Structure 1
Amino acid sequence: MEEKPLEAENQPAYSIYTQRQKAYIVFMSGLGGFFAPLSANTYLPSIPSLPGYLGVSPSLINLTVTAFLIFQGLAPSFYGDLADIAGRRPAYLISFIIYIAANIGLASQSSYPALFVLRCLQSSGSGGTYALNSGVIADISTPAERGRYMGAAQSGIMCGSVYLIVFAITVPETARKVVGNGSIPPTAWWSRSLLSQVARRKAVAKQPDDSAAPGEPKPCKLRLPNPFKTLLIISEKDCAVTLFYNAIIYTSWYTVTANLSNLLSEIYHVDTLQIGLCYIPFGVGAALSIVANGYIQDWNYKRYARSHGFSVDKERGDDLANFPLEKARLNIVWPFVYVGAAAIIGFGWAAEMKTHISAPLILTFAMALFLTACYNSMNLLIVDLYPNSPSTASAASNLTRCLMAAGGSAVIEPMTRAMGTGWAYTLIGLLIIALSPTLCIVTRYGPVWREERRVRLETRAAARQCSAEQRA
């Protein structure tokens, strides 16, 4: 994948959006980014009741969870590249049209084949929002403030059809390959929102006749999205190691969420409504984690900048070539890893010993609080490593973690049946701890691998320029 070196772009400012405009863009991105976990998690409490309602075995219902995760991992590979070449707006609009159509179909069906197909279609629509969310935040924020913006953008909720209308009318295009830092007006109709067009016409009308235009329109060259670009990111050594451990953390977390409804139904004999309420600690822990971790990441970034004599530029962005980015993003993750692993082990034994229901629920809160911070931090690092293709980079993260989580959701029930709930989750917690030195590998060798990639890409770009000059 062709990627520019990690350097501040040669522009007057990293983005021309005001703080109020940034806040609105982040708010709308947050609302859009919520639909992927919403669609996945609201389905889980109904799992124990679906076999009887549809007349199928529990294993077939569990297969719908696995298929949902597979499509949620694959879909962003298409949306990510589309968003990086054509803009965020067309990718968002396509994903939500598919998502809304699937929801309408799910609301009117009552057969297992229809459920299976439409859940896959629903996942294909909602899965794109994860990569697009990260891409928008990378467009408008510098590395020094990206943590809190990313945290805010991943904590919204809204009705899908209303969101689509509001987004289409109000949210501007932010993709840097289409509008630069926001000063270049997009030419394609799908990249122009109604409000941005009105604002731009008013600005032009106020300009004197002999004044220069704020920026020449940038032609949008469309091509078919290339989903294999995510594989090129995964093949990079630093990304591969980070994405592997990120997938381990997410899969461990998902083995609990996917199996929680079955455990609650079997052990505590609660109904579907009560099972749904038991997921609230999960949601609260994850929401608090996302927001708090964003501020912690920004604080740690600035702390490392001060200790290394590195100046932070919130206007034009930072030259990260000689900055210990990997340490700044990952060194705070260590305590989260171990507390999260301990919470998973404790959850397994609380379920095994059939303690009061409050014990496993408190542990799910702790698990969500700490493990969500782990994989969000690693996703933030991946986006930092590919500032010019953030949606594709985020899609690579989503692909690896969702495919591994699909496998985890498929095997967790047989594991608990064969080993017992306590030992099954003990094995998962110990796996997290045993593989935690992966973080050391990234922080130790990541800067070296990053510099090797920068030199390789510069050499390749120079060779292409020389070849073009010779042909001319």
Structure 2
Amino acid sequence: MPSQVRSGSDQGGESCNYFDSRTTTSGPTPDEALKSPFQESDVVDNVSEVEEPPEPPEPPYHVLTRRQKWFVIVIIGSAGLFSGLSSNIYFPSLEAISQDLHVSLEMVSLTITSYLIIQGISPLFWGSISDALGRRPIYMASFAVYIIANIGLSFSPNFAVLMVFRGLQAAGSASTVSIGNGVIQDISPPSERGEFIAFYQAIRNFSIAVGPVLGGLLANFLGFRSIFVFLLILSSIVTTVIVVFLPETMRSIAGNGSLRLGGVYKPLIRYLTKEADGTEDPEGPFTRNEVTLATFVEPLRLLVQRDILVNLMFGGVVYTVWSMVTSSTTGLFKKHFHLSELQIGLAFLPNGFGTIVGSAIAGKLMTRDYLEIEETYKSAHNLAETEKLTAKNMPVDFPIERARLRRLPWIILIFVVSTGGYGVCLNFPSVTSLTGWIAVPLALQFLIAATSNAVFALNQTLVTDLCPGKGASATAINNLVRCGLGAIGVAFIESFIASTGPAVTFLALALITVAVGPLAVVHWYWGQEWRAQRVQRRDDGDDGKTTA
């Protein structure tokens, strides 16, 4: 007897499990497939009046309901908090660390540069393994590293220990971003992906808003080591949630979520409730993909693809400028406005809220733009309105590049003007000494953060679209480019400001952004052609190791 499809909303009082996804042998009708995941759905059993049974509908991209997908996004977003939180919670305590460990402020600033470098490199390791072995085991392994690092930092007696465990902390936390983007690609088709990635980035960026405030409070009242105790407790809670609730989503392992899994791939809640994980048995015994040197080299191959490279470089420059604005805030605001550590922490709030607002707006715009272009494409090619375009069946002539980049010009215009104006408004002591003038650079920081993070959302979503099946690796290589360029910028920003002043420094950064603008123009006009050529090479067997 066929079992009934159960969505996240039709379980009633029987179960509160978020991942009860039982499929059917008969499947939903096309009309039912269009219903909201929050509506009741009935299985039609009587088809005797139909002379010929209709063709079975395509299986869903993923069996999770929309509500269940959002639950997964919240979990991986909470995990992704630690990459930004570990970095930004640290900024207000730099001077306290300098005094406590008896080293110069310049030496302490080196921990920021080293953190960015390791943050850029480590996802190549973790992300590549997660694309081979699955998401759950790598989440647990990376958080184990992160927890160990925070234990060491909580007792750091000298600068050397701080430097070593700070690097280990970066290695454990940075990978959560790339793995999370891999999860989003696993569970969502392109039509949903923009909204999910933007929300995922927004929930992670929440740490940028609250991190400096928390760091200032903890450093002021409990000492800088209390920051790492706080991170230790918080990361332990999130790790527990991952172990208990997060399902394995890697499509080569779990398919569309309908395969029964065991061992580390099965959430602990399934063992406790003794519920089956999925409805279908894998074909044949499960074997893990072999991890070799090629596993770690594979993401680097993406850099030889022209469309991917120009996208990464443009996003990397914008990230570098934003990082230089953020990392120089402590020194500039302490000099011009004479703020305490706690007040400096509060001064980071506009920057943090800007990251959230920018990501959220970008997500809404990307979803709207994609649906509009998808509708136009279907109409021009006489495709059924109900047909869904996924990464698996997306035609090479579908303009995914323009669906993601069409809002970029006005976003970059605001970013460039705000960056140049930010430096000018901090350049003249006679102006910065005016009562209330601090509101001007703070407002500009909000605009810089909002527009830069809107660019990041567009940039990351497009990179993910261009690398189907390699979500974690694509994010890892994106992270490598961003953090590599960002580390260089952060290492020299203080010297630039000291030698030329904030006006010249940030005007120059604004002009650099304008100078790399043609990269986005090139991608707009030739990206689709390059993507089609890559797919053709793959189909011909000449580019078998390169993601299409």
TM-score normalised to structure 1 length: 0.90
Aligned to 2:238: 163
For 2:394 and 2:273, the matched residues in 1 are separated by: 33
Aligned to 1:279: 348
1:35-434 correspondence to structure 2 within 5 Å: 35-154=82-201, 155-156=203-204, 159-187=234-262, 189-197=263-271, 201=275, 213=280, 215-216=282-283, 218-224=286-292, 226-309=295-378, 313=387, 319-354=394-429, 355=432, 356-434=437-515
Q: Which has the higher contact order (CA 8 A, sep 6+)?
A: 1
For 2:177 and 2:58, the matched residues in 1 are separated by: 28
Equivalent residues of 2:327, 2:490 under 8 A apart: yes
Q: Which AA in structure 2 matches 1:394?
A: T
Give CA deviations for 1:85-131 in whole Å, capped at 9, x if unaligned.
Answer: 11110111111111111112112113111111111110000100110
For 1:427 and 1:202, the matched residues in 2 are separated by: 59
Gap change, CA 1:51 and 1:448, over 3 Å in 2: same
For 2:477 and 2:169, the matched residues in 1 are separated by: 20
Gap change, CA 1:459 and 1:284, over 3 Å in 2: same
Gap change, CA 1:458 and 1:200, over 3 Å in 2: farther
Equivalent residues of 2:537, 2:543 under 8 A apart: no
For 1:442 and 1:400, the matched residues in 2 are separated by: 17
Q: Which AA in structure 2 matches 1:284?
A: F
For 1:336 and 1:316, the matched residues in 2 are separated by: 27
Gap change, CA 1:34 and 1:436, over 3 Å in 2: same
Equivalent residues of 1:251, 1:404 under 8 A apart: yes
Give CA deviations for 1:150-194 in whole Å, capped at 9, x if unaligned.
Answer: 12223056921100011101110001111111112235x221112
Deviates more, 1:50-59 or 1:281-290: 50-59
Q: Give the secondary-structure state (helix, strand or coil) at the position aligned to 2:123.
A: helix
Q: Give the secondary-structure state (helix, strand or coil) at the position aligned to 1:293.
A: helix
Equivalent residues of 2:259, 2:280 under 8 A apart: no
Gap change, CA 1:284 and 1:463, over 3 Å in 2: closer
Equivalent residues of 2:186, 2:251 under 8 A apart: yes
Gap change, CA 1:312 and 1:398, over 3 Å in 2: farther
Report the Cα offset of residue 256 of structure 1: 0.7
For 1:440 and 1:460, the matched residues in 2 are separated by: 30
Give CA deviations for 1:429-456 in whole Å, capped at 9, x if unaligned.
Answer: 1111121121110111111111111111
* Structure 2, unaligned runs of 5 or more: 1-56, 208-230, 380-384
For 1:107 and 1:58, the matched residues in 2 are separated by: 20
Q: Which AA in structure 1 matches 2:133?
A: A
Larger radius of gyration: 2
For 1:136 and 1:203, the matched residues in 2 are separated by: 17
Q: Which AA in structure 2 matches 1:373?
A: A
RMSD: 2.2
* Structure 1, unaligned runs of 5 or more: 1-9, 205-211, 465-472
Give CA deviations for 1:297-338 in whole Å, capped at 9, x if unaligned.
Answer: 111111112233365745966514221011111121111111
Aligned to 2:44: none
Report the Cα offset of residue 376 of structure 1: 1.7
Q: Give the secondary-structure state (helix, strand or coil) at the position aligned to 2:190.
A: coil
Q: Give the secondary-structure state (helix, strand or coil) at the position aligned to 1:34.
A: helix
Q: Give the secondary-structure state (helix, strand or coil) at the position aligned to 1:323.
A: coil
Q: Which AA in structure 2 matches 1:268?
A: F
Q: Give the secondary-structure state (helix, strand or coil) at the position aligned to 1:375.
A: helix
Equivalent residues of 1:74, 1:399 under 8 A apart: yes
Give CA deviations for 1:326-353 in whole Å, capped at 9, x if unaligned.
Answer: 1111121111111011111111111112
Equivalent residues of 2:190, 2:389 under 8 A apart: no
Gap change, CA 1:36 and 1:97, over 3 Å in 2: same
Give CA deviations for 1:227-274 in whole Å, capped at 9, x if unaligned.
Answer: 222210112111111111110000000001111111111221111111
Equivalent residues of 1:138, 1:390 under 8 A apart: yes
Q: Which AA in structure 2 matches 1:40?
A: S
For 1:203 and 1:130, the matched residues in 2 are separated by: 26
Equivalent residues of 2:258, 2:280 under 8 A apart: no
Equivalent residues of 1:255, 1:405 under 8 A apart: yes
Count of matched residue positions in the alignment of Structure 1 and Structure 2: 447
Gap change, CA 1:443 and 1:350, over 3 Å in 2: same
For 1:48 and 1:301, the matched residues in 2 are separated by: 47
Q: Give the secondary-structure state (helix, strand or coil) at the position aligned to 1:309.
A: helix
Deviates more, 1:216-225 or 1:308-317: 308-317
Q: Which AA in structure 2 matches 1:251?
A: T
Equivalent residues of 1:289, 1:368 under 8 A apart: yes
Report the Cα offset of residue 201 of structure 1: 3.7
For 1:320 and 1:197, the matched residues in 2 are separated by: 41
For 1:388 and 1:400, the matched residues in 2 are separated by: 20
Q: Give the secondary-structure state (helix, strand or coil) at the position aligned to 2:378.
A: coil
Equivalent residues of 1:326, 1:443 under 8 A apart: yes
Give CA deviations for 1:24-75 in whole Å, capped at 9, x if unaligned.
Answer: 1111011011110111111112224433332222221221111000000001
Report the Cα offset of residue 12 of structure 1: 1.6
For 1:213 and 1:376, the matched residues in 2 are separated by: 35
For 1:323 and 1:315, the matched residues in 2 are separated by: 9
For 2:156 and 2:492, the matched residues in 1 are separated by: 28
Aligned to 1:469: none
Deviates more, 1:265-274 or 1:422-431: 265-274
